[in-house]
A = this chain, B = another copy of it.
Amino acid sequence: MSRVPSGLWQNLIALQVYGANTNVGKTVFSTLLGAHFVKRAGKRRWSLHYIKPVSTGPATDADDAYVKRHVKGAAVTTLFQFKDPVSPHIAARDAEFIPTDDHLVRRLHAKIKVNANQFAWEKHMGLTIVETAGGVLSPGPSGVPQADIFRPLRLPVILVGDHRLGGIASTISAAESLLLRGYDIAAVVCFDDQGQYHNAEYLKEYFERKNIRAVTLSWIPELEGCTEEEERKAMKRYYEKHSESYEINELSRIVIKQHEDRLYTMDKLAARTRKVIWHPFTQHKHTTNTDDILVFDSAYGDYFQTKHTPASLTGLSKSGRPKDVTDKPIFYPAFDGSASWWTQGLGHGNPTLSLAAAYAAGRYGHVMFAGATHEPAVTLAETLLQGMKNPRLAKCFYTDDGSTAAEVGIKMALRATCKRYEWDGSTENIGILGLKGSYHGDTIGAMDASEPNIFNEKTDWYRGRGYWFDFPTVKMKMGEWVVESPPGMTEQLGGQELFPHLDDVFDFEARGAGTGRRWWLYEKYIRSKLDDLVKRQGLKFGALVMEPILLGAGGMIFVDPLFQRKLVEVVRSYSFSPVDPPTDPLHWTGLPILFDEVFTGLHRLGPFTPSSLLDIHPDISIHAKLLTGGLLPLSVTLASKSIFRAFLSPSKADALLHGHSYTAHPIGCHVANTSLREMETLKRSYAWKDFRRGWDPEAGRSEGQGEGQAWSMKRRQGPSNKTWSMWRRSLVEWLSYHPAVDHVVALGSVLAISLRDSEGSGYSSNAAAGLRDALLTDRSKTAVNVHARVLGNVIYFMASLTTSPKDLNAVSEALKQKLDLVSGVETAVSRKEEYEEEFEQFRWMADEEVEDEPVRTP
């Protein structure tokens, strides 16, 4: 995905002219508009630059020459010219050089940026018209539809309507294709065909009803049978006359006003936000400055389009009009380093997901789900149940977010336990078992399932109900994976264990057999704790609730998977009540096991479910976040039949009387189905195989031993390691040696770095804030900006599942640079020379910039 800023400058209006079809008069329109602006629109002086990114046909016929000829003083550029007069994707087949989409967008951006600089120097306002080829979705040289290629710039669009028979339909459809890709349509223009089909009249009315401005343009002179000279003269007259017409004046007012409005909106949005918005998880005493609020104009792929803080907007007067002519860009792209609070999977502004959302909205809107059903909800339930590969899970209950899914899961578990053990949950205190540092959401029920902590301690109705175990953790330190017990508990839980590979940590057989002592210590520790709670204190428990492998909000704590396995095993075999356990192996025993996979599930850590890494089959699991690929809220609670049956009775009052209005809303379900299908194909992609290969314990060994043949066979089969990360192993190891770093964890798309902090760790710590700020605020030319989130002394980075190795490398390089910078280290530890080589590679990728070229004036 192109890391370019969206195209908004103070002194330059960059417009993209799309046609509803080919041959609708795009170039005539561009010329007309250009001629108008050059004559000075809105009492300013304007310079015009016309850019044709891709042109096909003989260069002598090219649109740029045409514009140049008719608009005095226009600078014109064609970025790529192909000689066949066909669609660019066909024309490019025989070309020597086919630009990638990324290259095309960066070239275009660089070109417009040069304009901005040049116009600023000339003290003019600038209009840059970018005219596309063919229709909105005509393929570019790569074969990708143009509106997708140019989306990162998100230039305001003027859509030239089709005046011919059938043109109403094609114009509206073209507009819809633009809108569903997140474009703003500045105006629709249509040449008035003087009473033949009346398209212009219809379109004007139609679009204005939809709050899109529309302008009718005077008919182009009849040129059939004219000589070249006659044609030129006729058009000259046309441009002279109509470039000062009422209609084109109206259009230029619209365009200028929208530009100013957009600048004004961007300028004021932080202040408006401060006035009316109560932010989540925010101490507003600290947000006294509007600069503290990041303003997002849009997002695409892995990047936010973020507004520069006011410092760069000093040229704006109160009304949003530039006081001086300044070439300041308004946005910079920032890598979405928290995957927008752990939700993103398939990139922002993904057109496949937009269309899926629109389809379900068009087919159903929302339809109520009580006593009813629809296909997307059932298919999603089936897909999830199959994907979990857990023979216990049989039923799917829909809610809206992770917190409500947790509430439902807890209600399910408590009822099942109370029913079997004949406890009265309405009078007796039934607790849950869990891990220290757990988090399941912010509604009271979900809060009560976590130990007292900073999130809940000031919540008046919070009453932590349960017991939360200490546990050993997994960390990479100095290049090795360490299993470490909490301070002062090494006697109970064992000392450090070291492993070269993460897969070894998950090799339960080896760890049970090799260091049987730890397996046994875990069992002893858990049993004695339970004996104390249940037998001695007489407490009652209704469920074991935990996040498998990684405790997210708790600070990205990596739990020793062996401990989680042991805990489940002990809880399932423990006698919490004298009632005999059922014999059916799919029924829960001891207590129901609830896995909160809201953060860790659905490929966030690699596999469909992290429970497969643990080889545990929970009785209940909850899922949200990535479920819709990162588009909109939806959550599910999956449950076993044995849990489901606890609610069966002749009485309605015994049912699970829980529901939300938008339960199983079709848009969410259909988008989720689409997302999960896309993720399935990702799983088999080369990119993912390469990520996995980078963490393959065998890889180094085979290569080292030079077993050429075996290795190449293995390459064909693909790597077989269970654990891997999208973040390179070399990066993770590098970090783990860094003097400012205490330890690192990486799994799937997650990378978390615990920084050394003399003031102690925890949520209220500020250790990582410096690194976070350095990553976001570097405005140097080659800086890769990253928007990261911190949890106390932990800074973490989370990619989308579609993030490219190139983008990951750029972020990695930025991270290393800034870590050195803020920690005052020249270059951290360089354990092996091999890293050096990779640094070079990173650096090369980060530096790769399209050269700015001067404006071509042919």
A250 in the interface (beta carbon within 8 A): no
Contact with B along A343-368 (1 / 0, CB 8 A): 11001111111110111111111111
Q: Which residues on the B side are within 8 Å of A397 (C-beta)?
A: 278, 280
A373 in the interface (beta carbon within 8 A): yes
Q: Are B23 and A277 in contact (CB under 8 A)?
A: no
Q: Are B381 and A366 in contact (CB under 8 A)?
A: no
Q: Which among A168-176, A523-531, A684-692, A812-820 touches the partner chain?
A: A168-176
Q: Are A661 and B459 in contact (CB under 8 A)?
A: no
Among A412-450, those with CB < 8 Å from B are 414-415, 418, 425-426, 430, 441-446, 448
A473 in the interface (beta carbon within 8 A): no
Q: Which residues on the B side are within 8 Å of A349 (C-beta)?
A: 361-365
Known: A90-B198, A272-B382, A459-B411. A179 touches B359 (CB 8 A): yes
CA of A736 to CA of B180, assembled, Å: 49
Residue in contact with A166 in the complex, picked from B134, B371, B668, CB distance below 8 Å: B134
Q: Which residues on the B side are within 8 Å of A411 (C-beta)?
A: 459-461
Known: A170-B135, A365-B350. A448 touches B443 (CB 8 A): no
A785 in the interface (beta carbon within 8 A): no
Q: Are B269 and A373 in contact (CB under 8 A)?
A: yes
Q: Are B280 and A398 in contact (CB under 8 A)?
A: yes
Among A109-159, those with CB < 8 Å from B are 134-139, 143, 145, 154
Contact with B along A256-284 (1 / 0, CB 8 A): 00000000010001101101111111111
Closest to A350 in B: B365
Q: Are B145 and A172 in contact (CB under 8 A)?
A: yes
23 A-B pairs whose Cβ atoms sit less than 8 Å apart in the complex: A21-B170, A86-B165, A87-B198, A89-B202, A134-B169, A172-B177, A182-B360, A183-B362, A183-B363, A275-B394, A280-B663, A282-B655, A294-B373, A297-B375, A343-B366, A349-B362, A358-B361, A401-B661, A411-B461, A425-B460, A425-B461, A443-B446, A456-B657
A625 in the interface (beta carbon within 8 A): yes
Q: Which residues on the B side are within 8 Å of A455 (C-beta)?
A: 657
A576 in the interface (beta carbon within 8 A): no
CA of A182 to CA of B375, assembled, Å: 13
Q: Which residues on the B side are within 8 Å of A653 (C-beta)?
A: 454, 457-458, 764
Q: Which residues on the B side are within 8 Å of A658 (C-beta)?
A: 280-281, 442
Q: Are A442 and B375 in contact (CB under 8 A)?
A: no
Beyond A181-B362, A284-B655, list 18 extra A-B contacts (CB 8 Å). Answer: A135-B166, A135-B168, A180-B358, A277-B381, A281-B658, A283-B650, A283-B654, A295-B372, A296-B373, A349-B365, A401-B660, A404-B404, A404-B442, A404-B443, A426-B458, A442-B658, A443-B444, A652-B763
Q: Are B381 and A364 in contact (CB under 8 A)?
A: no
CA of A856 to CA of B196, assembled, Å: 33
Known: A168-B87, A656-B278. A414 touches B460 (CB 8 A): yes
CA of A375 to CA of B277, assembled, Å: 12
Q: How far is the CB of A192 from chain B (nearest CB, A)?
A: 14
Q: Are B165 and A378 in contact (CB under 8 A)?
A: no
Q: How far is the CB of A354 from chain B (nearest CB, A)?
A: 4
Q: Which among A221-229, A285-293, A499-507, A511-519 touches the partner chain?
A: A285-293
Q: Are B367 and A299 in contact (CB under 8 A)?
A: yes
CA of A285 to CA of B456, assembled, Å: 38
Q: How far is the CB of A605 from chain B (nearest CB, A)?
A: 17
Chain copies in complex: 2
Q: Which residues on the B side are within 8 Å of A183 (C-beta)?
A: 362-363
A238 in the interface (beta carbon within 8 A): no
Q: Are B647 and A280 in contact (CB under 8 A)?
A: no
Q: Which residues on the B side are within 8 Å of A547 (C-beta)?
A: none
Q: Which residues on the B side are within 8 Å of A19 (C-beta)?
A: 166
Q: How far is the CB of A213 from chain B (nearest CB, A)?
A: 16
CA of A145 to CA of B172, assembled, Å: 9
A396 in the interface (beta carbon within 8 A): yes
Q: Are A172 and B361 in contact (CB under 8 A)?
A: no
Q: Are B174 and A444 in contact (CB under 8 A)?
A: no
Known: A170-B135, A277-B378. A632 touches B668 (CB 8 A): yes
Closest to A18 in B: B169
Known: A136-B173, A202-B143. A461 touches B667 (CB 8 A): no
Q: Which among A64-72, A334-342, A482-490, A739-747 touches the partner chain?
A: A334-342
A60 in the interface (beta carbon within 8 A): no
Q: Are B624 and A661 in contact (CB under 8 A)?
A: yes
Residue in contact with A358 in the complex, picked from B179, B198, B381, B403, CB distance below 8 Å: B179
A786 in the interface (beta carbon within 8 A): no
Q: Which residues on the B side are within 8 Å of A350 (C-beta)?
A: 361, 365
Q: Which residues on the B side are within 8 Å of A299 (C-beta)?
A: 363-365, 367
Most-contacted residue by chain B among A286, A359, A659, A662 (CB, 10 A): A662
Q: Which residues on the B side are within 8 Å of A648 (C-beta)?
A: 283-285
Closest to A449 in B: B461
Known: A168-B137, A272-B382, A455-B657. A368 touches B341 (CB 8 A): yes
Q: Which residues on the B side are within 8 Å of A371 (C-beta)?
A: 279, 282, 287, 292-294
Q: How far is the CB of A261 from chain B (nearest CB, A)?
A: 11
A298 in the interface (beta carbon within 8 A): yes
Residue in contact with A365 in the complex, picked from B347, B456, B624, CB distance below 8 Å: B347
Q: Are B461 and A465 in contact (CB under 8 A)?
A: yes
Q: Which residues on the B side are within 8 Å of A381 (C-beta)?
A: 276-277
Q: Are A353 and B343 in contact (CB under 8 A)?
A: no
CA of A661 to CA of B400, assembled, Å: 11
Q: How far is the CB of A628 from chain B (nearest CB, A)?
A: 8
Q: Which residues on the B side are within 8 Å of A651 (C-beta)?
A: 283
Q: Are A644 and B284 in contact (CB under 8 A)?
A: yes
Q: Which residues on the B side are within 8 Å of A173 (C-beta)?
A: 135-137, 170, 173-174, 176-177
Among A172-211, those with CB < 8 Å from B are 172-174, 176-177, 179-183, 196-198, 202, 210
Q: Are A395 and B277 in contact (CB under 8 A)?
A: yes
Q: How far is the CB of A270 from chain B (nearest CB, A)?
A: 7
Closest to A202 in B: B139
Q: Are A375 and B660 in contact (CB under 8 A)?
A: no
Q: Which residues on the B side are within 8 Å of A649 (C-beta)?
A: 283, 285
Q: Are A426 and B457 in contact (CB under 8 A)?
A: yes
Q: How far is the CB of A193 from chain B (nearest CB, A)?
A: 11
CA of A137 to CA of B175, assembled, Å: 12
Closest to A287 in B: B371
CA of A41 to CA of B361, assembled, Å: 35
Q: Which residues on the B side are within 8 Å of A372 (C-beta)?
A: 293-296
Q: Are B395 and A278 in contact (CB under 8 A)?
A: yes
Among A68-98, those with CB < 8 Å from B are 86-87, 89-90
A750 in the interface (beta carbon within 8 A): no
A711 in the interface (beta carbon within 8 A): no
Q: Are A657 and B281 in contact (CB under 8 A)?
A: yes
Q: Which residues on the B side are within 8 Å of A352 (C-beta)?
A: 210
Q: Are B277 and A418 in contact (CB under 8 A)?
A: no
A385 in the interface (beta carbon within 8 A): yes
A610 in the interface (beta carbon within 8 A): no
Q: How far is the CB of A148 from chain B (nearest CB, A)?
A: 10
Most-contacted residue by chain B among A270, A273, A344, A458 (CB, 10 A): A458
Q: Are B174 and A145 in contact (CB under 8 A)?
A: no
A839 in the interface (beta carbon within 8 A): no
CA of A722 to CA of B294, assembled, Å: 43
Q: Which residues on the B side are within 8 Å of A395 (C-beta)?
A: 276-278
Closest to A668 in B: B632
CA of A369 to CA of B304, assembled, Å: 12
Closest to A285 in B: B648
